[in-house]
């Protein structure tokens, strides 16, 4: 890896502000946070941003149910969601909202550019209309019997039983989920973004290093089927931004949500006037833009969003990194099965760093689903993290306290072992860069095994018993703590709170990647206290029972 300082914006998908966040949201935030922590440790300039996706019919209706204005409702949900995210040690530089003056201004400007580029088309469409609520209904607000397999109680866009997709007008015996009225079909004029116009440019962009090969292959299916124009308008009533020059028309949430990334950064620039917004978002920007998203929204982030950026003459993403879903014990998260785990419930019961470590052990840069298996979860935390890695310090630090007044040796023997650990830094850095955290943890665990084997060979407990406070014992314990320190530097992006505790124990400044090359000698540390406690089976059992 080269040593040029990079400057970048990193985003996670904006959390929809209509409910509690669950472990699927946390997976993405953790994946991005680990990558950001690594970049910052390497000395790169990294602005980590996200926020609430605050518009759309579901939010309008949820707010109405709670007797709140949409604005009050999204402010309340945004604060709750951020608190849960921060509970997992995730540190955004800015967490904002799409319902902002910055976003409204940018959406308006980009819409004008799309019009100027000839990318906006008007079409008359026919939609379901609720005659009781006096509003056009999104497909998800119509339920009925599937026209294919005849299963009852299916949504107006797809059947959860047979997987068929269709429009709400095809449902048998359709009903509005808002009033139970039978929807009428009415004509309405909508505005469309001319996505097919950008097909060739999108193919070219997708063929580059911006998405993984498996995503390129998946997107090719859309090109093979033929790209369609994209409806970017919605009829009133709708909670969102009004379309300039139109009567009772609003921008569809999926137009203003990605532009929200720009708006959140624009708000951040207002707080930090030394930053130049345009230098990050103009065409040809030398700075980087990285999006972390789930596989369910790949379509929006690798087709619509790049095309909108192309049409409005803005820079394109450097990389769109895609992950899979979270399953629990091999099954989709489900409220009825007791496997739907909210972030809040996890935080009430277990150390958030356990989950960060477990997710990291499963994340390999691919889009496979990540399974939270409770037995495996407990085994990895207890056996690998605590039993192997933290155990290196636990079994040697006490000798430094007992015999040497917490003072480390002035020199290190067995420099070849220390070099073996330090020589892994470039390889591990490459795995972090590629988001292959599973490989990082395998390498760290293998090094921990080597350290523990060496300690077992040296038997410092036997030295202490036979020789007392000998110089050899001091040097063995000092080398063990140096090996442990290198492992903690490697793990710091994954486990920032553990790293903080170790920095305090070793009485050192916050670890940077370059510190791997400087041994810690002739230095006073604090007495060792347990850094993490094991998970008990009873804790998991109690947790599952409560679900």
CATH of the domain at 354: 1.10.730.10
In angstroms, the CA 27 to CA 367 distance is: 12
In angstroms, the CA 435 to CA 186 distance is: 48
In eight-state DSSP terms, residue 530 is -
Structure tokens at 346: 């996890």
Alpha-carbon dihedral of residues 368, 374, 375, 376, nearest 10 degrees? 30
Say how many C-beta atoms besides its own lie within 10 A of residue 486's C-beta: 24
From 193, 224, 239, the end of a domain falls on: 193
Cβ neighbors of 89 (< 8 A, separation 6 or more) are: 33, 352, 353, 356, 496, 497
Residue 131 DSSP SS3: coil
241 assigned to some structural domain: no
Cβ neighbors of 524 (< 8 A, separation 6 or more) are: 405, 406, 407, 408, 507
pTM: 0.94
CATH code of the domain in which 169 resides? 2.170.220.10
Domain count, the chain: 3
Q: Does 268 lie in the same domain as 143?
A: no
496 assigned to some structural domain: yes
In angstroms, the CA 276 to CA 120 distance is: 30
Q: Does 265 lie in the same domain as 127?
A: no
Q: Does 448 lie in the same domain as 357?
A: yes
Q: Does 367 lie in the same domain as 497?
A: yes
**Cβ-contact 466, 457 below 8 angstroms:** no
In angstroms, the CA 17 to CA 446 distance is: 42
CATH code of the domain in which 283 resides? 3.40.50.620
CA distances from 66 to 58, 78, 98 (A): 12, 15, 21
Q: Does 44 lie in the same domain as 155?
A: no
Give, for all 547 residues of the chain, the pLDDT tens digit: 456 899 999 999 999 998 899 999 999 999 999 999 999 999 999 999 999 999 998 898 889 889 999 999 999 999 999 999 999 999 999 999 999 999 999 999 999 999 999 999 999 999 999 999 988 888 778 999 999 999 999 988 778 777 677 778 889 999 999 899 999 999 999 999 999 999 999 999 999 999 999 999 999 999 999 999 999 999 988 899 999 999 989 999 999 999 999 999 999 999 999 999 999 999 999 999 999 999 989 999 999 999 999 999 999 999 999 999 999 888 887 666 667 889 999 999 899 999 999 999 999 999 999 999 999 999 999 999 999 999 999 999 999 999 999 999 999 988 999 999 999 999 999 999 999 999 999 999 999 999 999 999 999 999 999 988 899 999 999 999 999 999 999 999 999 999 999 999 999 999 999 999 999 999 999 999 999 999 998 888 777 666 5
Cβ neighbors of 365 (< 8 A, separation 6 or more) are: 212, 321, 434, 435, 436
């Amino acid at each position: 890896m080269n040593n040029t300082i990079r400057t970048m914006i990193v985003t996670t998908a904006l959390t929809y502000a209509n409910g509690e966040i669950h472990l699927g949201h946390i997976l993405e935030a953790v994946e991005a946070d680990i990558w950001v922590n690594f970049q910052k440790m390497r000395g790169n300039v990294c602005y980590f941003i996200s926020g609430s996706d605050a518009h759309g019919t579901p939010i309008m209706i949820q707010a109405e149910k709670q007797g709140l204005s949409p604005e009050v409702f999204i402010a309340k949900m945004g604060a709750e969601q951020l608190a849960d995210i921060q509970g997992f040690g995730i540190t955004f530089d800015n967490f904002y909202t799409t319902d902002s003056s910055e976003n409204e201004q940018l959406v308006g400007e980009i819409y004008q550019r799309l019009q100027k580029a000839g990318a906006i088309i008007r079409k008359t469409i026919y939609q379901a209309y609720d005659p009781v609520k006096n509003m056009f209904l999104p497909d998800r607000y119509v339920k009925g019997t599937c026209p294919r397999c005849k299963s009852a109680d299916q949504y107006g866009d797809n059947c959860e039983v047979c997987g068929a997709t269709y429009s709400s007008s095809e449902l048998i015996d359709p009903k509005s989920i808002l009033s139970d009225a039978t929807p009428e079909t009415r004509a309405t004029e909508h505005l469309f973004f001319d996505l097919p116009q950008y097909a060739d440019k999108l193919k070219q962009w997708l063929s580059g290093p911006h998405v993984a090969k498996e995503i390129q292959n998946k997107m090719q299916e859309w090109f093979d089927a033929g790209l369609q124009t994209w409806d970017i308008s919605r009829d009133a009533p709708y909670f969102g931004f009004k379309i300039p020059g139109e009567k009772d028309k609003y921008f569809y949430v999926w137009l203003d949500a990605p532009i929200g990334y720009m708006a959140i950064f624009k708000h951040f620039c207002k707080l930090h006037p030394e930053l130049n917004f345009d230098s990050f978002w103009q065409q040809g920007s030398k700075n980087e833009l990285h999006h972390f998203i789930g596989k369910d929204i790949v379509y929006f982030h690798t087709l619509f969003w790049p095309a909108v950026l192309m049409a409005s003459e803005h820079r394109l993403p450097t990389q769109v990194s895609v992950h899979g879903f979270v399953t629990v014990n091999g099954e989709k998260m489900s409220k009825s099965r007791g496997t739907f785990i909210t972030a809040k419930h996890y935080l009430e019961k277990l150390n958030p760093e356990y989950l960060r470590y477990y997710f990291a052990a499963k994340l390999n840069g691919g889009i496979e689903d990540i399974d939270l298996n409770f037995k495996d979860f407990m085994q990895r935390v207890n056996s690998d993290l605590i039993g192997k890695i933290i155990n290196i310090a636990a079994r040697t630090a006490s000798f430094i306290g007992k015999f040497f007044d917490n003072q480390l040796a002035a020199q290190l023997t067995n420099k070849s072992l220390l070099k073996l650990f330090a020589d892994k830094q470039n390889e591990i850095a490459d795995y972090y860069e590629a988001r292959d955290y599973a490989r990082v943890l395998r390498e760290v665990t293998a090094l921990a095994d080597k350290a523990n084997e060496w300690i077992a060979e040296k038997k410092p407990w036997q030295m202490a018993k036979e020789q007392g406070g000998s110089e050899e014992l001091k040097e063995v314990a000092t080398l063990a703590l140096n090996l442990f320190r290198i492992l903690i530097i490697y793990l710091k992006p994954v486990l920032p709170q553990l790293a903080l505790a170790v920095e305090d124990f070793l009485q050192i400044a916050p670890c940077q990647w370059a510190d791997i090359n400087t041994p810690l000698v002739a230095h006073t540390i604090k007495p060792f206290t347990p850094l993490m406690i094991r998970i008990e089976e009873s804790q998991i059992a109690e947790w599952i029972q409560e679900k």
